A and B are shown apart, each in its own frame.
Chain A
Amino acid sequence: MGIDKINNQDFPQSTTAPATTTPSVSLAGGAFGVVTATITKSGGGTYTNPNYSAQCALADGTVTVTDANIDRNLESDASHLAGTLNFTDTNASTAERTITVKAQEFVDRKQSAGATATYTPSYIQKKYIRIRGVDEDGNDSSQRSSISNIRFYTGTGQSGTEYPTTNLTSATSETGIVVSAGHEYSSTYPIHHAVNGAGNMWWALGTTAANNWWQIEFEDATYSTKPIIKSMTVTMPWNTTSSAYFKITGSDNADHSSATDFGVYATNIISGTTTAINIG
């Protein structure tokens, strides 16, 4: 027996606390462990003012990404949290992970049950790795690209062997490596400046959308087995006419046919900073 009323006034009843509707989760990406989780409300509709808790784990329960390392996003009008989460899973395991997401509507008394989805980080092992200026949707853009430093690593978190292994003094100065581009503005901004370690840059001012790319080639004679690239860093000087996004693709063909798409990433024009962008 419990109290229902005092002096004929209702005492709040909530013997069964309402729970937030369980979310549905879908995933995109996976290259370098960079994943976007999209959250929707199971059964339709949208959350009004939701909050989320999420965690990624291996099958044995090992947590690969904690809630505090999963990035939230705001709706376009910044009014509330949006239904997307971004995270980078740098755990060395190559096994499948499960992300578990719970939702809680503001004022709802209980968080939802956990919703899950799975992903497996993928890495690049290609003869040609190409960086291309694109728009947010991944379409080719003539908004010029520029790179003052780019390096590729065999380990996650910018560890392991770094490629190129030297600071290039020309496009072919390192045995087994060739860097090239679809366009360079002038000899002041040559292709190898992206990897010369000096902080000056390759610049594609005046490029067409089709030629707005830079790439590294691992030549067969030296790299009969191509290195597995698990992370990279890139610094892209920008101004407001630079491309806001770049796409990473890999191919085994000189004409870049049959390329694999490894995702679209934001340049620093989005954040307004000039720091290096580390992926993976």
Chain B
Amino acid sequence: MGTINRFSVIRHSDISNINGQTPNLDLSGSVSPIPSVSTSGGLFGQVVATITKAGGGEYTNPNYSAECTLADGTVTVTDANIDRVLESDGSHLAGTLEISDTNASTAQRTVTITAQEFGDLTRSETGSATYTPTSIQAKYIRFTGVLVDGSATNKRLAIEDIRFFTGGGQSGTEYPTTDLTADNSETGITVSAGHVYNSTYEAWKAFDSSSGTWWWPLQTTAANNWIQIEFEDGTYGTKPIIKSIQVDFQNSWADTYYFKITTSANADHSSATDHGVFLANVSTVTNFG
């Protein structure tokens, strides 16, 4: 036997009486307003969901429950794996959820969110938005040191290792396929940087799989604070599709841990595509996608 959720399109919690008879409900409390949801990002399944209060205004002290699913109902990200964010003053939950969707499916997902204001007796109805994980396929993939807002900075990066993978979750073919011993030691791959401090910290040191060596652009300008990998046309007529990456920052000598990923088909990085700003963990290897 089912339970009536709506009667004549009206939610049960909003029904005060039917033909003069009162439902056996505690109607003393309010229902939280429905959230509006929008999504941004999508590279490697990294998505930000932004929640606003439908109809305007703001939640005062909200809590959220969220879940991501494929069209067939398969859950790709559970509520417990969706990150909350605090308001800038730390006072309450902000209207932002951060999602890392590593499910192998390339199909569109729906993130479904319900809200509950502290003290409201009933959570909101669901708000939803869709997203589709994207990947990178380009001749040049560049990491540029930036500030949290994505703006250029001369705060130096310091990277021990970067790896690119054709599968989600650091699976599939790994690029470079070897541990580099020079910027062009692997056929078909050239790594380069806008600036290197000296020969101890050359670009290939970020692709040699050694945690004891790193690329370091000490004294860089903001414009030159980058490192990149090139998939040369002669070997890679079709560029590999990159679905995840792994980054190991040097934990003592970087001044910024934010980096922007851009891609281009051109040697001067013109007409580049901006794939977003990422934050590496200070002390451990960080996986994206």
Least Cβ–Cβ distance between A206 and chain B, in angstroms:
15
Task: Give chain A residues whose Cβ lies under 8 Å from the Cβ of B270.
Answer: none
Task: Give chain B residues whose Cβ lies under 8 Å from the Cβ of A15.
Answer: 24-26
- Once A6-B7, A8-B1, A107-B65 are accepted as A-B contacts, the answer to whether A81 and B93 lie under 8 Å apart by CB is yes
| Interface flags, B6-39, vs A, CB<8A=1, else 0 | 0100001100001001111110010000000000
Residue among B4, B79, B98 having the largest count of chain A Cβ atoms under 10 Å = B4
Query: Does A60 reach chain B (CB closer than 8 Å)?
Result: no
In the bound complex, what is the Cα–Cα distance between A78 and B82 (angstroms)? 8
Tell which of B167-175, B186-194, B204-212, B249-257 binds the partner: B249-257
Closest chain B residue to A17, Cβ basis: B26
In the bound complex, what is the Cα–Cα distance between A136 and B200 (angstroms)? 34
**A residues 84-138 touching B (CB-CB < 8 Å):** 86, 102, 104, 106-107, 109-111
Task: Give chain A residues whose Cβ lies under 8 Å from the Cβ of B269.
Answer: none
Query: Does B86 reach chain A (CB closer than 8 Å)?
Result: yes
Task: Give chain A residues whose Cβ lies under 8 Å from the Cβ of B21.
Answer: 1-3
Query: Does A74 reach chain B (CB closer than 8 Å)?
Result: yes
Task: Give chain A residues whose Cβ lies under 8 Å from the Cβ of B22.
Answer: 2-3
In the bound complex, what is the Cα–Cα distance between A175 and B13 (angstroms)? 72
- Once A51-B62, A81-B93, A104-B63 are accepted as A-B contacts, the answer to whether A2 and B116 lie under 8 Å apart by CB is no
**A residues 1-16 touching B (CB-CB < 8 Å):** 1-4, 6, 8-16
Q: Which of A14, A68, A79 contacts B82 (CB 8 A)?
A: A79
Q: Number of A interface residues, CB 8 Å?
A: 45
Closest chain B residue to A9, Cβ basis: B4
Task: Give chain B residues whose Cβ lies under 8 Å from the Cβ of A109.
Answer: 26, 29, 121-122
In the bound complex, what is the Cα–Cα distance between A88 and B62 (angstroms)? 22
Query: Does A152 reach chain B (CB closer than 8 Å)?
Result: no
Least Cβ–Cβ distance between B248 and chain A, in angstroms:
14
Are B116 and A104 in touch, CB under 8 angstroms? yes
Query: Does A72 reach chain B (CB closer than 8 Å)?
Result: yes
In the bound complex, what is the Cα–Cα distance between A36 and B104 (angstroms)? 42
Are A16 and B63 in touch, CB under 8 angstroms? no
Query: Does A69 reach chain B (CB closer than 8 Å)?
Result: yes
Q: Which of A12, A77, A106 contacts B83 (CB 8 A)?
A: A77
- Once A53-B118, A67-B61 are accepted as A-B contacts, the answer to whether A78 and B98 lie under 8 Å apart by CB is yes
Are A240 and B118 in touch, CB under 8 angstroms? no
Task: Give chain B residues whose Cβ lies under 8 Å from the Cβ of A4.
Answer: 24
- Once A72-B92, A80-B84, A109-B122 are accepted as A-B contacts, the answer to whether A13 and B25 lie under 8 Å apart by CB is yes
Interface residues of A (CB under 8 A from B): 1-4, 6, 8-17, 49-53, 67-74, 77-81, 86, 102, 104, 106-107, 109-111, 239-241, 272
